[in-house]
Amino acid sequence: MSSPSLSSQIRDLTDEALRDLVPGPGRDMVSQIQAKLATPLTVTVAGGVSSGKSTLVNALLGQRIAAVDAGECTRVVTEFRYGVQERADVLGTDGTVTVLPLERGRMPEHLGRPTDQITSVVVHLSNELLRDVAVVDTPGLNTVTEANEDTTASFLGVSGREGHQTADAVGRADALVFLLPLLRQADAEVLRGFAKLFGGSGLSAASSIAVLSKIDRLGRDADPLQSARPIAERMAAELKGVVSAVMPVIGLLAETAHAAVFTEADARALVAIAAVDDALDREDMLLSAEDFLRTEVTDVDVATRRRLLAMLDIHGLGVAIAAVDQGATSAAGILQQLAARSGFDELRAAVIGRFAGQADLFKAHAALSDLRRASYLRTDSANTRVLRSLRSPLERIELDPAMHRLRMLEVAHAVAAGELALPDDLLDDVVALTTSQDPLSVVGSISGRSRETASAGAARWASWGNDARRSPDESRLARIVKEAYEVMWTELVGSTGGHDRSRELRIGDR
């Protein structure tokens, strides 16, 4: 139990290698791997232009920092990292870095050079969330018009130059939050688009979530979260094995609820608006943005109404006014309702709880596959010997019991990248085993039945994997899942005080 974490074992290994490596590409590779291991988990937010990415980033950070709507900053990949010295480092395509101050806690208006000469912007913030995760905001695609919607890449918002940088950022991500428009295209095509995105990354359903964004714009439903649920479920079924969940979220309400922009003066204005006593007047006022700005039934000035509209939109205004009707009079009371109706809690729990909770695993997974690749590097003859010598300690790390969960991530990745097609019941197994922080919970409580579940799982995978129609790679991946079930079986036997009968459960090894 108390063996050092995988990532600390890997860190020791890279430390040792760096003592012997001479300057050259091999050394650069290993020091990059080590540096990446030391950085917090990178959560990348991607999706089409104007799908609400920056708004959601602000909600996560609890601070209105990412530029929303237009402006230079919305067109470059922006990474938010923890740093006491708050600033924005603009990384140029020529390798130079310009350091810009933040303007009253906001992104600078201008980045000092044309956006096509910028690789990315790294913003250092002393923000508590960033101690655990780095958050990356991506530009996506400029316009999603009917005309260019025929390619999957543009549908997913990842074509063009900004699209390329977005795809790069996704490739570097440890975890992904992908904002999806409502499905208008063949579902299979969306799947292929995702698979393409995941190709160069370590991402899988374990580390990816899709968000149905801006659902308040869908129609005039009283509760868009509720109406979006069946759509989200249908999409989750289509994307099973690719993302762990499809969550409907009203990012705008989440941002307003969490990013410290809503003031007591705003609350007073809402109280005044709610005080309009003619129900019909109130309804008319909330028909559209124009109606709300044009209305003459309150003396709340137009500038304030415009501000409220920008923070809440029409649906959010309805939610806020309903909160006042139910007795809320302060900003805190109204914001609590906005938060509750945004659908954001679930997303935040997934990002902060599940992703950050598995950070060590995700990091180790990426570092191990990078190190394995480095150990086969042939273009650095001065370092070949040292790089090769990484292989046997890497194999030793492979024997660590914690590696089972990591190998499961490999299976999940193969599924998400479209490299492993599974029958439905086996797909369910992979999803359940990799998206839960406690895989043991998958086979239920500690009882005879859960042991049965574990051994049935192992048998199911043995029989699929041993089928002559499987490719060697499919058989290998199947063996990983089979072993994961065997490990659980063993743990269940151990925890019920039974003697170690692990050897009795050796199903279908070849």
Residue numbers of the site for ligand GDP (CB under 6 A)? 49-55, 68-69, 74, 213-214, 216-217, 250-252, 313
Cα–Cα distance for residue pair 87/99, rounded to 1 Å: 7
Residue 412: name the closest of 396, 394, 433, 393 by CA.
433
Minimum CB separation of residue 301 from ligand GDP in Å reads 21
User: Whose Cβ is closer to ligand GDP: residue 311's or residue 477's?
Assistant: 311
Cα–Cα distance for residue pair 361/378, rounded to 1 Å: 28
User: Whose Cβ is closer to ligand GDP: residue 50's or residue 208's?
Assistant: 50
User: The tokens 């780095």 sit on which residue?
Assistant: 134
Minimum CB separation of residue 53 from Mg ion in Å reads 5
User: Whose Cβ is closer to ligand GDP: residue 225's or residue 412's?
Assistant: 225
**Binding at 208: pick from ligand GDP, Mg ion, none (beta carbon under 5-8 Å per type):** none
Indicate which single residue of 74, 127, 159, 453 sits in contact with Mg ion (rule: CB under 5 A). Answer: 74
User: Whose Cβ is closer to ligand GDP: residue 161's or residue 501's?
Assistant: 161
User: Whose Cβ is closer to ligand GDP: residue 209's or residue 442's?
Assistant: 209
Minimum CB separation of residue 454 from ligand GDP in Å reads 42
**Binding at 40: pick from ligand GDP, Mg ion, none (beta carbon under 5-8 Å per type):** none
Minimum CB separation of residue 42 from Mg ion in Å reads 17
CB of 217 closer than 8 Å to CB of 179:
no
User: Whose Cβ is closer to ligand GDP: residue 14's or residue 54's?
Assistant: 54
User: Whose Cβ is closer to Mg ion: residue 162's or residue 380's?
Assistant: 162
**Binding at 365: pick from Mg ion, ligand GDP, none (beta carbon under 5-8 Å per type):** none
Q: Residue 419 phi/psi, 5° resolution?
A: -90, -15
Greatest Cα pair distance, the chain, in angstroms, is: 83
**Binding at 426: pick from Mg ion, ligand GDP, none (beta carbon under 5-8 Å per type):** none
**Binding at 69: pick from Mg ion, ligand GDP, none (beta carbon under 5-8 Å per type):** ligand GDP
User: Whose Cβ is closer to ligand GDP: residue 313's or residue 370's?
Assistant: 313
* Reduced DSSP (H G I as helix, E B as strand, rest coil) percent helix, strand, coil of the chain, to 5: 55, 10, 30
- The token pair at 57 is 């980033």
Cα 323 to the center of its chain, rounded Å: 31
Cα–Cα distance for residue pair 453/492, rounded to 1 Å: 11
User: Whose Cβ is closer to ligand GDP: residue 68's or residue 210's?
Assistant: 68
Cα–Cα distance for residue pair 337/323, rounded to 1 Å: 6
Closest residue by beta carbon to ligand GDP? 52
**Binding at 356: pick from Mg ion, ligand GDP, none (beta carbon under 5-8 Å per type):** none
Cα–Cα distance for residue pair 367/373, rounded to 1 Å: 10
CB of 349 closer than 8 Å to CB of 355:
no
- How many chain residues interact with Mg ion (CB under 5 A)? 3
- The token pair at 195 is 């698979």
User: Whose Cβ is closer to ligand GDP: residue 69's or residue 424's?
Assistant: 69
Spell out the SS3 assignment of 377-446: CCCCHHHHHHHHCCHHHHHHHHCCCCHHHHHHHHHHHHHHCCCCCCCHHHHHHHHHHHHCCCHHHHHCCC
Cα–Cα distance for residue pair 297/5, rounded to 1 Å: 64
CB of 64 closer than 8 Å to CB of 261:
yes
Minimum CB separation of residue 54 from Mg ion in Å reads 3
Minimum CB separation of residue 339 from ligand GDP in Å reads 13
Cα–Cα distance for residue pair 320/253, rounded to 1 Å: 10
User: The tokens 């009203």 sit on which residue?
Assistant: 250
Element (H, E) at 92: strand 87-92
Minimum CB separation of residue 72 from ligand GDP in Å reads 13
Cα–Cα distance for residue pair 419/411, rounded to 1 Å: 9
**Binding at 387: pick from Mg ion, ligand GDP, none (beta carbon under 5-8 Å per type):** none
> Which residues pair with residue 444 across a beta bridge?
none
**Binding at 250: pick from Mg ion, ligand GDP, none (beta carbon under 5-8 Å per type):** ligand GDP
Cα 380 to the center of its chain, rounded Å: 35
Minimum CB separation of residue 57 from ligand GDP in Å reads 8
Cα 382 to the center of its chain, rounded Å: 39
User: One-letter amino acid identity for 20?
Assistant: D
User: Whose Cβ is closer to ligand GDP: residue 108's or residue 251's?
Assistant: 251
**Binding at 500: pick from Mg ion, ligand GDP, none (beta carbon under 5-8 Å per type):** none
Cα–Cα distance for residue pair 37/292, rounded to 1 Å: 51
User: Whose Cβ is closer to Mg ion: residue 53's or residue 64's?
Assistant: 53
Cα–Cα distance for residue pair 401/378, rounded to 1 Å: 31
Check binding of 434 to Mg ion (CB under 5 A): no
**Binding at 193: pick from ligand GDP, Mg ion, none (beta carbon under 5-8 Å per type):** none
| 117 C-beta neighbours (distance < 10 Å), count | 13
Minimum CB separation of residue 139 from Mg ion in Å reads 6
Minimum CB separation of residue 392 from Mg ion in Å reads 46
CB of 201 closer than 8 Å to CB of 172:
yes
Minimum CB separation of residue 272 from ligand GDP in Å reads 23
Indicate which single residue of 54, 201, 207, 490 sits in contact with Mg ion (rule: CB under 5 A). Answer: 54
> Which residues pair with residue 91 across a beta bridge?
97, 120
Minimum CB separation of residue 46 from Mg ion in Å reads 10
Single out the segment in contact with Mg ion by CB under 5 A; choices: 48-56, 110-118, 186-194, 368-376.
48-56
User: Residues interacting with Mg ion, by CB under 5 A?
Assistant: 53-54, 74
